[in-house]
Amino acid sequence: MAHVEEDHIEATPVESRQGFLDRPVLVVLALSTGLAALAMAAFFFGSALG
């Protein structure tokens, strides 16, 4: 269990780990980044052409 040490919290690496990077997390990250890039490109080129 994490405990307070003077003015900061002491925690082991396992206790301080907040999440995991597994395949579903990386897929969601890649897809959302790609979709955001496509949306920005469509907005930029759509407004530039017309």
Task: Render the chain in DSSP notation, one character per residue.
Answer: --EEETTEEE--HHHH------HHHHHHHHHHHHHHHHHHHHHHHHHHH-
User: Has residue 14 been placed in a domain?
Assistant: no
Tokens of 5: 């040490």
Segment 10-35 mean pLDDT:
84
Tokens of 17: 């780990």
User: Has residue 10 been placed in a domain?
Assistant: no
For residue 1, give every residue at least 6 positions away whose Cβ sits within 8 Å of its Cβ, in sequence order, or none: 15
Q: What confidence score (pLDDT) does residue 47 get?
A: 77
Q: What confidence score (pLDDT) does residue 41 get?
A: 93
Identify the band that residue 16 occupies on the pLDDT scale cut at 50, 70 and 90: confident
User: Has residue 2 been placed in a domain?
Assistant: no
The structure's pTM equals: 0.53
User: Has residue 30 been placed in a domain?
Assistant: yes
Give the total number of structural domains in the chain. Answer: 1
Q: What confidence score (pLDDT) does residue 8 get?
A: 82
User: Has residue 49 been placed in a domain?
Assistant: yes
Identify the domain containing residue 28 by its residue range. Answer: 19-50
Segment 28-49 mean pLDDT:
91
